[in-house]
């Protein structure tokens, strides 16, 4: 399988510049906040969003000098810190104790402090953005934060009412995940002054990739040998109906559907129900069917790149699509 290091290779210099920029900008006063911020920054994960910004910037730049500009580092910081803050809040909402193989902020400092850490990161992100004077980038990126909240709220509402449909599921994952990947890819193009059409193409590319990314995330929650660093089966414990279970529910007659929903309601306190639903999902081939849906989005994403010439940047973005489809972490 293609590695993230290989994908990152054509923009290593730009990503190193971004890391140095982030270290300089993101500092905190006081021991507690400083420790919390270090924890958040040192457990950032795969860095898919900054990579998307840098590769898109390089692919859309008219001169090579533009690819490592401070605007690219700023765009990468804005998207990655929104993502970081949203996961800190997400772990509070989901009551999840583990993220990327490490204790979550709420597990270490309790929920009320974790919420404040997420708020602090968002507030610092906005002020660094405004101080930079790059208002087009700040508006482009931060203007979509509300969409993430809409997705998360819609998801919470569906989990409590258990009234998920395929369209609602797609709407949720578009809002909570695909939007920010679309923003990342298009912000890279915007940062280097690409035309409006190219910015739109990159947004569509990132959004298709983001849909696939979240579907794969939802598949991995059911996959026995996944290495996500998150507890497997959490979606069921939280009462979330994601694509694999939705596929089963769509196929089932009324009696089976009601039985499955009843089991789902008991997942929060009964681990045997989690295991039972996981077993049915695997036995019924629902993961393979979900993979086909995911693959459709990957193909859409790759098609969006066909208007670009063949360069190492485009190749890396195509490889990123394969990575998302094949990843088990
Ligand atoms: C992870 O989903 C969560 C998201 C992609 C979005 C979270 C958004 C919010 C909490 C809204 C607040 C937004 C901001 C900007 C602070 P998941 O729970 O399916 O994935 P997981 O398994 O990784 O937890
Ligand atoms: Mg979660």
Report CA(303)–ligand 2 centroid distance (Å). 30
pLDDT at residue 86 tops 80:
yes
pLDDT of the residue at 223: 92
Report CA(264)–ligand 2 centroid distance (Å). 17
Give pLDDT tens digits for 175-193.
Answer: 999 999 999 999 999 999 9
Give pLDDT tens digits for 29-67.
Answer: 899 999 999 999 998 888 999 999 999 999 999 876 666
d(CA 179, CA 184): 9
pLDDT at residue 231 tops 90:
no
Kindly report the average pLDDT of the chain as a whole number: 94
Strand-pairing partners, residue 103, are 98
Report CA(215)–ligand 1 centroid distance (Å). 14
Ligand nearest to the CA of 175: 1
Domains belonging to the chain, first-starting first, are: 4-326 (1.10.600.10)
- Do residues 26 and 124 touch, judged by C-beta distance below 8 A? yes
Ligand nearest to the CA of 150: 1
pLDDT of the residue at 62: 83
| Whether residue 177 has its Cβ less than 6 Å from ligand 1 | yes
- Do residues 223 and 278 touch, judged by C-beta distance below 8 A? no
Ligand 1, atom 11, lies closest to the CA of 149
**DSSP 8-state symbol, 267:** T
pLDDT of the residue at 64: 65
Report CA(86)–ligand 1 centroid distance (Å). 5
| Whether residue 148 has its Cβ less than 6 Å from ligand 1 | yes
Ligand nearest to the CA of 243: 1
Q: Which two tokens stand for residue 322?
A: 């394969």
pLDDT of the residue at 50: 97
pLDDT of the residue at 44: 87
| Whether residue 155 has its Cβ less than 6 Å from ligand 1 | no
Ligand 1, atom 6, lies closest to the CA of 176
């Amino acid at each position: 399988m293609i590695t993230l290091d290989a994908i990152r290779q054509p923009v290593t210099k730009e990503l190193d510049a971004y890391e140095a920029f982030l270290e300089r900008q993101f500092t905190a006063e006081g021991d507690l906040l400083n420790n919390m911020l270090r924890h958040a920054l040192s457990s950032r994960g795969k860095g898919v969003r900054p990579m998307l910004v840098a590769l898109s910037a390089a692919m859309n730049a008219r001169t090579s000098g533009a690819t490592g500009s401070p605007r690219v580092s700023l765009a990468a910081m804005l998207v990655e810190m929104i993502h970081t803050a949203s996961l800190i809040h997400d772990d509070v909402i989901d009551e999840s104790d583990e993220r990327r193989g490490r204790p979550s902020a709420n597990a270490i400092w309790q929920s009320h402090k974790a919420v404040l850490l997420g708020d602090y990161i968002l507030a610092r992100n906005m002020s660094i953005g405004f101080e930079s004077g790059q208002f087009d980038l700040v508006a482009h990126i931060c203007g979509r934060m509300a969409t993430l909240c809409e997705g998360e709220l819609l998801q919470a509402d569906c989990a409590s009412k258990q009234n998920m449909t395929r369209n609602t599921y797609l709407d949720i994952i578009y809002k909570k995940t695909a939007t920010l990947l679309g923003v990342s890819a298009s912000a890279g193009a915007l940062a280097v002054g690409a035309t409006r059409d190219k910015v739109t193409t990159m947004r569509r590319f990132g959004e298709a990739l983001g849909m696939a990314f979240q579907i794969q995330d939802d598949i991995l929650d059911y996959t026995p040998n996944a290495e996500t660093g998150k507890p497997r089966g959490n979606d069921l414990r939280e009462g979330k109906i994601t694509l694999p279970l939705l596929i089963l529910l769509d196929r089932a007659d009324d009696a089976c559907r009601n039985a499955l929903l009843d089991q789902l309601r008991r997942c929060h306190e009964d681990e045997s129900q989690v295991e039972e639903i996981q077993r049915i999902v695997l036995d019924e081939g629902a993961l393979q069917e979900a993979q086909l849906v995911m693959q459709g989005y990957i193909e859409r994403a790759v098609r969006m790149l066909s208007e670009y010439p063949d360069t190492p940047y485009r190749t890396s973005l195509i490889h990123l699509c394969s990575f998302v489809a094949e990843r088990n972490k």
